A and B are shown apart, each in its own frame.
Chain A
Amino acid sequence: MANWIEQLGDRNPQFLRECRGRLKPRSVMAAVGLSLIFQFLLYISTAEIGTAIRVSDQLNICRTLTFVIPYGLFVLGGYYLVDDLAKEEKSGTLNFIRLSPRPAFEILLGKLLGVPLLPVILIVIATPLHIISGLLGGVSPQWFLSYYLLVAAGSAFVFSLALLFGIVGSRSALGKQQALSAVGFAGLALIVIAPAFMTWNSFVTWRAFGAASPLFDEFNAAAPIEWLYLPVAANSLVAHLFTIGNLVIATLLVWRILLRKFRVPQATLVSKRLSYIGVFYVNVLAWGFSQSGALSAEMSLAGAVFLLVLNAFVFLGLIFALAPSRQMLLDWLRYRQHTLFDWIWNDSSPSVLAMAINVIIAAGLIVPWLLISDWPISDRGSTNLLSPVPILLATLSIVTNVLIYTTLVQIIFSMRLRSPLIWAVGIVATFAFVPLTIIAILTNGSSDRSGLMIAVWTFLGLPFWQASELGNVSIGISIGWLMQFVVLLLLLTRLARNLKQLASHKQTVSTP
Chain B
Amino acid sequence: MTEAAVIATDQLTKQFDDYVAVDRVNLEVRPGEVYGLIGPNGAGKTTLIRLLAMASSPTVGDIYIDGQPLLRNQPNADIKRRIGYLPDDFPLYDDLSVQDYLEYFGQLYYLKPAQLNVRVTEVLALVSLENKRHSVISALSRGMKQRLSLARTVIHQPRLLLLDEPVSGLDPIARIEYCETIKLLQKQGMTILISSHILSDLEDFCTTIGIMEQGRLVESTRLQSLYRREGQQLLIAVLDNNAASLEIYLQEHPLVSGYERLEKSRSGQAGKLSVTFTGTEAEAADLLRILVTEGIRVSEFHYTQETLEDIFVRLGYRRTS
Contacts and interface: CB of A to CB of B under 8 A. Distances in A.
Are chains A and B native binding partners rather than an unrelated pairing?
yes
Interface of A: 3, 6-7, 9-10, 13-14, 16-17, 20-21, 91-93, 95-104, 263-264, 326-327, 330-331, 334-335, 416, 505-506, 508-509, 512
A509 B60 CA distance: 8
A508 B75 contact: no
Interface of B: 11, 13, 15-18, 20, 23-24, 53-55, 57, 59-61, 73, 75, 77-78, 80-81, 83, 85, 87, 89, 91-93, 95-96, 100, 103-105, 107-110, 112-113, 116, 152
A13 B108 contact: yes
Nearest to A502: B17
A100 B108 contact: yes
A20 B77 CA distance: 26
A505 B23 contact: no
A433 to B, nearest CB: 32
B119 to A, nearest CB: 13
7 contacts: A10-B107, A14-B108, A17-B100, A101-B81, A335-B59, A505-B17, A509-B61
Given A6-B116, A16-B107, A331-B15, 18 more contacts: A3-B113, A7-B113, A10-B107, A13-B104, A20-B96, A95-B55, A95-B87, A96-B152, A101-B78, A101-B109, A102-B77, A103-B77, A326-B17, A334-B15, A335-B60, A506-B20, A509-B24, A509-B60
A17 B96 contact: yes
Contacts of B78: 101
A91 B92 CA distance: 8
Nearest to B113: A6
B109 A100 contact: yes
B93 A99 contact: no
A423 to B, nearest CB: 17
Contacts of A92: 87, 89, 91
B83 to A, nearest CB: 8
Max chain B CB contacts within 10 Å: which of A10, A104, A334, A416?
A10
The 5 closest A-B pairs by CB, nearest first: A13-B107, A6-B113, A101-B77, A100-B108, A101-B80
B75 A330 contact: no
B24 A327 contact: no
A335 B54 CA distance: 20
Contacts of B13: 508-509
A428 to B, nearest CB: 24
Contacts of B91: 91-93, 96
B89 A100 contact: no
Contacts of A512: 60
B76 to A, nearest CB: 8
